[in-house]
Structure 1
Amino acid sequence: MGGRTVTGRAAVAAARHLGEACRAVLETIDPREKAMAARAAARAWRSGRLAAGGAIALPDTPPRGARPELLPPGRMPKRGRAGSPRSRIALLHALAHIEYVAIDLAFDCAARFAAGRPRAFVDDWLGVGADEALHFCLLDRRLRALGSFYGALPAHAGLWDAAERTRADCAARLAVVPMALEARGLDVTPATVARFEAAEDRRSAAILARIYRDEIRHVAIGRRWFEAECGARGAEPVALWRALVSDGFQGIVKPPFNAAARAEAGLVAAYYEAL
């Protein structure tokens, strides 16, 4: 009889190099254990305990547990009346799921595309992954304070699709995930914060405001490495970004745009306005 597969913090502690640690995070199913493993892996990398490199097979799709039930967008239940307790819980749950998947997106990026790139590339993406883990924990804790928990409701099944479709091209991954998907979060989050404040749920609003500030930095990191990738290829950044996003992802770039937050991240209007 085979032994039990070790995942989570124990697998990170046993990892010798970057690839093993990132795979351990990706293969951890339990949400809170995944978050803790992500933060442990980032600490291990910063402290120098993990060797660079370590080519290793990464899962095409990280394993998921029975909860939350994953549904296609068209089958997701309505959230209820805006501002109601049910609606706020449903929205926080949806955001927690985004952060859960974002942990995997960051660690997959760090390990999959590290070869041939500066150590700072890994520094940045493991840092992003640790941020996403913290965001997940904040949202899950808030859900529990409101009488719910992550996994209590269905969640969007398609959030990993962008990773699957860009796994062969670092520039495509950076163009789509931080510079399109996360940038879309910058557009919609201020209104979401205002909705929670109007419902006098100031604790949830404060958590989302904290996440919003971190996500501006994440978009900036993605934009900076995308432009570095363009420099290495001799490609013009705006033209390449438009081509990559138009190839199946154009629907996520739509107004209204939060031009101020995008500009703070260095995502100038030339990238997105006329797409």
Structure 2
Amino acid sequence: MMKVKAIGLATNIDDRARNWEEGVKTTGIPYKLLGVGQKFTGWKMRSELYLKEMSEDTTTDIFIMSDIYDVLVNPKTVKKIKESEDSVKDYIISTFQSFEKPIVIGAEKICSHNCSQFSFQNFVSGIFGNDNRYPNAGLIIGYREPLITLYQHLAKFPNDQIEVGNLVSKYPRIFSLDTHSKLFYNFFVSPDDKRFGTALFVHFPGQNFSAAARVAYNKLANTPISSTTQASQIITFCIIIVWIIVFLALMYLIRIKQ
């Protein structure tokens, strides 16, 4: 019987981390929060802690590497799995193995500053497109030994996500992207209902206002955000995006003139 374990970096235990814990508990798989009480020193720290945990835990076959503060387990998906008389652990294993690759990485549609294929064109097309095709290191699942090899390599880089993107392109026989959100769904601003309805782990980087009411387990779900606050957050986010687009456009024009 294969063993599955979810791990993630959480230097501070707050409501977001507790939400993640509550969600994972509903799946029945073991989990561990790494780096509790430590000072966050960068993404190399995450790679090193992942590597240490996997090296010490020789009994787990499959690890899920998950961001903590902006990732939650989808209760609707858990409910559907349990209603089908399947265990969540078996569902995770069978879905992961359906990719027929030793490592599966969550995919997103936005290619921004920490994307290996970053360009003005890819960034803009991601905002207005629907395809999740860029790797996001916030959600990864794989067999223990290949993951150890991966994180031994990633521990050498300050930005693991950029290097993950490079590796996915270079070694397609090792890596697969969860482009259809079978297990992992990374969404931008507003979730797609179809993807949201199938994914087990939902990643909403910096967008608590869009996801908490749908997938939170504690008071984050019970504290409604006013429409004014939500509108303000969305407007602020859109302004930031516009500024980024303008900046990138100027950089692009400068490069052309040179």
TM-score (norm 2): 0.30
Q: Which has the higher contact order (CA 8 A, sep 6+)?
A: 2
| Higher strand residue share | 2
TM-score (norm 1): 0.28
| Higher helix residue share | 1
